[in-house]
Chains A and B, each alone.
Chain A
Amino acid sequence: MVADVGLVALVIAFFFSVYAVLASIYGGLKGRSAWVESARNASLIVFPLLSISVLAVVYSLYVLDLSQAYVYDVASHAMSTFLRVTALWGGQQGSVLFWAWIMSGFVLLVLIRKWEQDRELMPYVIAVAMLTTAFFVGVVVFITNPFARLWYVQGATDLTPAIFQPANAMPYIPEEGQGLNPLLRHFGMIGHPPTTYIGFTGFVIPYAFAIAALITGKSRDDDWIRTTRRWTLVAWIFLTIGLVLGGRWAYDVLGWGGFWGWDPVENAMFMPWLTGTAFLHSVMMTEKRGMLKQWNMILIILTYALTIFGTFITRTGVISSVHAFAKSALGPAFFAFIGITFLGSMSLLFYRWNSLKAEHQLESFVSREVAFVLQNMIFLAIAFAVFWGTVFPLISELVTGNKITVDPPYFKKVTGPLFFSLVLLMGIAPLSSWRKQSLRNFGRAMLVPFLGSLGITAVWGYLHRMHPASIAGLWLVSFVLLAILAEFWKGIQARRHGRGENPLVAFGKLISRNHRRYGGYIIHLGVVMLALGIIGDTYFKQETQGTLTAGQSLSVAGYSLRFEGLKSYPGTDGREIIEADTTLLKNGNTIRPMQPRRDFFIVQEQPVTVPAVYATAGTDVYILLLDWQDDGRSATFKIYINSLINWVWGGGLMMILGTLIAAWPPRGGKKETTYQLRPQVFGPQPSAGD
């Protein structure tokens, strides 16, 4: 019954979405505001309708209505209520519905907040955003419906999920569900899909405004950029949180001591992050200097295409095998949607190409403009390398029939030098100024950070001389760090001398008065921390593996692990736990007992390795129980010494903090006052529609 209500609401939501697209385009083209308002009302109703559908799925999961195919797939009696509710996004059907629901929520917010402000753009903003919503709702209705029931067809071996009763079938209600994949039962994987989807759908908003600006010819003035700046930052922040949570999940659950495996699904999410980050930077250049307008469009169109592509890869499994593509209508539907929207957007862009010429000329090659352009190009080169490596197995299979895989070594080798250049630019760019600068001034700004970094690297290099390959990376990190700190130092000094503030007050005011700029620097500091973590992971990681009987020890990097014994006991959520009692020692001194475990999920017949981790600021000792023999009298352990890994998480948090500061609304509720002083005000004023 509840499921039926959800299904009906879903179907109505689909019709309203399609209507909103058609009515808004018609209203926009013919200049009939009644049609546009009607489209707006239709769009507003989609969110409540989809909320009913989402609640219906959540309710079915909560009461464990096993007549529903989706509930049977992702829930079971052994799962806690909390886990059952989060199973909404644990499988394909639920997560696509969830995607559409968040998308419709964004549309609702935009319509409430921006309706009065951007009336001219609105018809097409509605059209683009609702087209995306309609596509996803359509996919949920027609291809991957969470309200399908289970049916037993006479003579069939498997159960058939279907909305309507197939011929010769009777309803079937299993006694127990299959339950959520045990690997997904972790806070990282519970938080990862919602944050990622908010990030993905969030980027649809700037895209919708960009397309609307192109259609109306208002792309020449950059209002759409100012309108969507904070929306873009919100999308970016959530995508970043999603990446960090995903990395933490991999580290805690997958049991290989790493956080990033260059898996197609990870890459799928990383690519829109890369182009989105490039977009965030290129719009700054447009705001400051009226340049890169065409480029902004390309980046936001790419980002949109990549978010849909990301959902496509994650949800169809097409990369692991070409055959996954043909398994359901999902693959072709996504493929067609991405193709049509991408080609449509690009055609529109080329149509308006000439109106998006730069308002200003480049004054010098030694300027921040050049750094920005280079940085954008590198972001795109990385995105391309990741894309190419991700899809290459498919291309290889199609062209030569030869199945290959492209694994981390490829990605590290290809993107490593590009990331190095990118981080280097991140250090140099703030030291350069907009417009022009003498080489001499530029050199002077570089001098202190450069000399300082050489000093730090010399000491560091001496201490870590057994890892010569790491020295370049360490130099890079210290140079960029000093360059950013120098910016803070200069700002604080200026306030101290100008206003006589004490350093702490000056620091606080520096950030609060100029939160976009210093929020940006804090994000950059986060990147430096992250880079340090990656250097640790690349060069300083150590590992050992061995089989121990009680009392024996396994040693690596000054730590040793003593095996005491093995025990087993039943755990929550339908698992049986095998736990090893061990003691961790450093240089012979006991640190603390550690319990690496293995959890067997009985229904799913799946083991999950749960590492025991001893974390310090510098190092994680990451212990895995791999195997045991002779009724538990001996056991095999693997120990990873993960140097500097916590800087990865710290860096992620710092980036999020910086973005919050940068996105914080300006004081006194006045909106976007910082834009009043644009240099291009003094240039020729573009006339609308040229």
Chain B
Amino acid sequence: MKSKVLLTILTIAASFFAVYVVYAQEGRPGYPTDDQVNAVAKKLYCPVCPNTPLDVCETKACQDWRAQIRDQLTKGWSEEQIIAYFVDQYGQRVLGEPQRRGFTSMVWVLPLISTILGLVVVWQVLRSWKSGKKSQTGIATAAPQVPVDIQALVEKELREID
């Protein structure tokens, strides 16, 4: 009986201690919170599981990497330093955005060029459609054998439908 009471007291004491430790850690200046760690991890991508930001990845490797970020933050590293360290260690693929230099810049440039090109083509096509109007009207006036009044009626109904 006595040992049970003792155990209970010890357990309660231990849990108080745990709370104290958590508080102490969070309160201590310079000790990064989970949110601070995640803020940096969010900008990195898991090197082993593609398309997963490091802050949400659940693999053991990513947990270790987050712990590493925490250590680096504790040491006073800046966000840029940490990101540079990870790129150095694991290559460019830890970055969510491909860098805008060298061959990788192609990934950014090509969609832009294609959009501009698309706009130019659209403009050209629209202009050619517009300028070809004369010949079209020439044929159009020759073609219909529908009486004018019926045509007007249909046109009117068309407008109502639209």
Contacts and interface: CB of A to CB of B under 8 A. Distances in A.
Given A361-B130, A363-B133, A549-B15, A396 B144 contact: no
A261 B56 CA distance: 12
B19 A552 contact: yes
B143 A685 contact: yes
Interface string B101-119: 0111011101100110011
A543 B125 CA distance: 49
Contact of A550 (B15, B96, B110): B15
A268 to B, nearest CB: 13
Interface string A535-562: 0000000011111011010000000000
A634 B18 contact: yes
Interface in B22-62: 22, 33-35, 38, 45, 50-53, 56, 58
Given A261-B51, A381-B115, A396-B103, A358 B129 contact: yes
B101 to A, nearest CB: 12
Contacts of B104: 396, 402, 404
Contacts of B139: 683-684
A389 B140 CA distance: 47
A389 B107 contact: yes
B158 interface: yes
Contact of A291 (B50, B110, B129, B161): B129
A607 B143 contact: no
A544 B35 CA distance: 6
A231 B124 CA distance: 33
Contacts of B15: 549-550, 630, 633
B92 interface: yes
Contacts of A406: 98, 107
Contacts of A408: 51, 53, 96
B56 A255 contact: yes
B156 to A, nearest CB: 11
B132 interface: yes
A607 B63 CA distance: 15
A566 B19 CA distance: 16
B49 to A, nearest CB: 9
A545 B35 contact: yes
Contacts of A545: 34-35, 38
B91 interface: yes
Contact of A609 (B38, B58, B96): B58
Contacts of A450: none
Nearest to B49: A320
A598 to B, nearest CB: 10
Nearest to A634: B18
Main SS of chain A's interface residues?
A: mixed
Nearest to B97: A409
Contacts of B56: 255-257
Interface residues of B, number: 55
- Count chain A CB atoms within 10 A of each CB in B18, B111, B136 and give the residue with the most: B111
A320 B130 CA distance: 47
Nearest to B33: A546
Contacts of A552: 19, 22
Nearest to B103: A400
Interface in A372-415: 373-374, 377, 380-381, 384-385, 388-389, 392-393, 396, 399-400, 402-410, 413-414
A418 B115 contact: yes
A353 B152 CA distance: 34
B51 A407 contact: yes
A683 B98 contact: no
A365 B92 contact: no
Nearest to B159: A433
Contacts of B81: none
Nearest to B135: A361
Contacts of B146: 682
A384 B78 CA distance: 37
Q: How large is the interface on A (under 10, 10 to 19, 20 to 34, 35 or more residues)?
A: 35 or more
Nearest to A400: B103
Contacts of A407: 45, 51, 53, 96-97
A264 B45 CA distance: 15
A361 B158 contact: no
Contact of A392 (B33, B107, B154): B107
Nearest to A548: B22
Nearest to B110: A388
Contact of A414 (B14, B33, B111): B111
* Most chain B CB within a 10 A radius of its CB, from A399, A405, A549: A405
A649 interface: no
A413 B140 CA distance: 47
Interface in B60-105: 91-93, 95-98, 102-104
B157 interface: yes
B122 interface: yes
A414 B96 CA distance: 13
A370 interface: yes
Interface in A221-271: 255-257, 261-264
B8 interface: no
B149 interface: no
Interface string A415-434: 00010000000000000011
B140 A684 contact: yes
A543 B38 contact: yes
Contact of B50 (A320, A381, A546, A682): A320
A547 B35 CA distance: 11
A262 B161 CA distance: 41
B50 A373 contact: no
A433 B34 CA distance: 55
B19 A549 contact: yes
A677 B161 contact: yes
Nearest to B92: A404
B34 A546 contact: yes
B5 interface: no
Nearest 6 CB-CB pairs, A to B? A407-B96, A362-B129, A256-B56, A545-B34, A385-B111, A409-B96
27 contacts: A261-B52, A263-B51, A362-B130, A365-B126, A377-B119, A377-B122, A381-B111, A389-B107, A392-B107, A396-B98, A402-B92, A402-B103, A402-B104, A403-B91, A404-B92, A406-B107, A409-B96, A410-B98, A544-B35, A545-B34, A545-B35, A549-B15, A550-B15, A607-B58, A609-B58, A679-B158, A682-B151
Given A264-B51, A393-B93, 11 more contacts: A256-B53, A362-B130, A370-B126, A396-B104, A402-B104, A407-B53, A408-B96, A410-B97, A414-B111, A544-B34, A630-B15
